Amino acid sequence: QVQLVESGGGLVQAGGSLRLSCAASGRTFSTYAIGWFRQAPGKEREFVAGISRSGGLTYYTDSVKGRFLISRDNAKNTVHLQMNSLKPEDTAVYYCAARSLYYSVSHKDYDYWGQGTQVTVSS
């Protein structure tokens, strides 16, 4: 079991940066792959980035490649999402999620979710 808490969201101007953090509790954190998802009003929840248990494998949706960077520090039970060159279309509630073994691009495959953190990018 793992519990997740996101932080770092806020309001930022287009072109700016934010660093989201996902703090996890539980001794088995290192056994979980972590995914970041986002959901804007009226839209489906979409996959943003994922990272493997060791942090050696990462995956990004096309719209954020080259702008976002996911990383994890298993010793600190923390996953980060560095978001650069933010665009208004990045505005959404961002969630971190965990699943055992491998990451997935489908939110339905994740067992544990944080409460979400709002990211708003203004023009």
Question: Strands 46-51 and 10-13, how do they pair?
Answer: unpaired
Q: Is the pLDDT of residue 27 over 80?
A: no
Q: What single letter denotes the amino acid at residue 41?
A: P
Residue 93 is given by DSSP the state E
Q: State pLDDT tens for residues 72-109.
A: 998 889 999 999 999 999 999 999 999 998 889 999 99
Beta partners for residue 58, in sequence order: 51
Q: Is the pLDDT of residue 38 over 80?
A: yes
Q: How far apart are CA 85 and CA 62, in angstroms?
A: 14
